[in-house]
């Protein structure tokens, strides 16, 4: 079985059967070896550097109704909010002083923010902070819209594919949404010139190991610059309230597998991973992740951007979070660096 890990490292992929065998293997000797190889590859390329992204959750209005998500439009219990331009710039200013050189504007699919409003926010941030990268994470849009934001200066775009299997996709989403359009978005984004991130939830309802192998093959095909994966965590006001969460073990294993598939990839140890285990983010970093994304949103709105239950860091100021993360990373021998944190792949 250790052989499979070596094959994965050499060939950067495995066939279906071998991926399946590796995913279903719970022999600790094998999982430890996988982690060790992934860490070694990570250290060769990124050393012990950890990149930070300042996450600005600027709206929790959403026109979509994804069954897993706490800010789905049918959730009448969600207290909705929008940040105005001034509030967004204030978050960035605070973030810049704390050493952030990437800002991630994340929100629901909120039609209030027209393309020109988004473009204006992006270009204002790029003018004020020319040494920073701006990442958008605002869902499915037309190719034209993506071009507009890119021309305004957006550098990166995060859009998780959620699952690469059509039937599984249909179980997680209402019928207006399709995997086909999601993939179209990702390929358009890449083609336009963005650094692109896809990803999926680990242990989402109805997900099989076979589905995960399909996710891995899709990631191999797309060759994204970033991959966001974190455990599924049920939210009490969604149809998936009673479903089981994803596990720490599977998430950490997948981080290592993805590091071996795409050695240069930017791979966050997500807040969701930190939510299911108090040391989840540290374990993610020790398995091959190289990014953390602390929250820069104003404290009063943090408790409202709840995609899942028990989310961490919803009460803390940005400064506290960054100090906390610095200590956490140092405690495992890694170091937060002040840089845009671009992929080292040229």
What are the residues binding ligand FES (CB under 6 A)?
294, 313, 316, 320-321, 324-325
Does position 307 interact with ligand 5AD (CB under 6 A)? The reply is: yes
Out of 95, 203, 230, 280, point to the residue binding ligand 5AD (CB under 6 A).
230
Give the shortest CB-318-to-ligand FES separation in angstroms: 9
Out of 30, 50, 119, 272, point to the residue binding ligand 5AD (CB under 6 A).
272
17 binds, among ligand FES, ligand 5AD, none (CB under 5 to 8 A by kind): none
Does position 201 interact with ligand 5AD (CB under 6 A)? The reply is: yes
List of residues 6+ apart from 54 with CB closer than 8 A: 91, 92, 95, 98, 100, 102, 103, 104, 293, 294, 296, 318
Shorter beta-carbon distance to ligand FES: residue 174 or 315: 315
Q: How far apart are CA 229 and CA 199, in angstroms?
A: 5
Does position 308 interact with ligand 5AD (CB under 6 A)? The reply is: yes
Shorter beta-carbon distance to ligand 5AD: residue 51 or 68: 68
Q: How far apart are CA 302 and CA 298, in angstroms?
A: 7
Does position 305 interact with ligand 5AD (CB under 6 A)? The reply is: no
Shorter beta-carbon distance to ligand FES: residue 173 or 311: 311
215 binds, among ligand 5AD, ligand FES, none (CB under 5 to 8 A by kind): none
Give the shortest CB-304-to-ligand FES separation in angstroms: 17
Q: What is the largest CA-CA distance in the chain?
A: 55
Give the shortest CB-313-to-ligand FES separation in angstroms: 3
Give the shortest CB-252-to-ligand 5AD separation in angstroms: 16
Stretch in the footprint of ligand 5AD (CB under 6 A) among 10-18, 227-235, 249-257, 338-346? 227-235
316 binds, among ligand FES, ligand 5AD, none (CB under 5 to 8 A by kind): ligand FES
Does position 233 interact with ligand 5AD (CB under 6 A)? The reply is: yes
Give the shortest CB-69-to-ligand 5AD separation in angstroms: 4
Size of the site for ligand 5AD (CB under 6 A): 12
Which residues in this chain contact ligand 5AD in the complex, by CB under 6 A? 68-69, 160, 162, 201, 230, 232-233, 235, 272, 307-308
């Amino acid at each position: 079985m250790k052989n499979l890990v070596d094959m994965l490292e050499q060939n950067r992929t495995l066939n279906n059967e071998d991926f399946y065998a590796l995913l279903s293997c719970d022999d600790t000797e094998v999982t430890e070896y996988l982690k060790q190889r992934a860490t070694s590859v990570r250290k060769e390329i990124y050393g012990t550097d950890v990149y930070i992204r300042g996450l600005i959750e600027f709206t929790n209005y959403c026109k979509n109704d994804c069954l897993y998500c706490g800010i789905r439009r049918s959730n009448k219990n969600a207290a909705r909010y929008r940040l105005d331009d001034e509030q967004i710039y204030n978050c960035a200013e605070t973030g810049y002083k704390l050493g952030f050189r990437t800002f991630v504007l994340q929100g629901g699919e909120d039609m209030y923010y027209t393309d020109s409003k988004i473009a204006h926010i992006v270009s204002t941030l790029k003018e004020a902070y020319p040494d920073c990268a701006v990442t958008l994470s605002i869902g499915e849009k037309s190719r034209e819209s993506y071009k507009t934001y890119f021309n305004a200066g957006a550098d990166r775009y995060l859009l998780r594919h959620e699952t690469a299997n059509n039937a599984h996709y249909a179980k997680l989403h209402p019928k207006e949404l399709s995997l086909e359009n999601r993939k179209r978005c990702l390929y358009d984004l890449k083609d336009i010139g963005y650094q692109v991130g896809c990803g999926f939830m680990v242990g989402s309802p109805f997900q099989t190991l076979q589905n995960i192998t399909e996710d891995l093959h899709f990631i191999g095909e797309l060759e994204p610059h970033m991959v966001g994966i974190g455990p599924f965590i049920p939210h009490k006001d969604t149809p998936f309230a009673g479903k089981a969460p994803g596990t720490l073990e599977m998430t950490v294993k997948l981080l290592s597998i993805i590091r071996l598939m795409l050695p240069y990839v930017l791979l966050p140890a997500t807040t969701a991973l930190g939510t299911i285990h108090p040391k989840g983010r540290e374990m993610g970093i020790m398995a091959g992740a190289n990014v953390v994304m602390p929250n820069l949103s104003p404290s009063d709105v943090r408790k409202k951007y709840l995609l899942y239950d028990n989310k961490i860091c919803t009460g803390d100021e940005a400064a506290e979070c960054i100090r906390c993360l610095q200590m956490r990373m140092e405690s495992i021998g890694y170091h937060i660096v002040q840089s845009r944190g671009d992929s080292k792949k040229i």
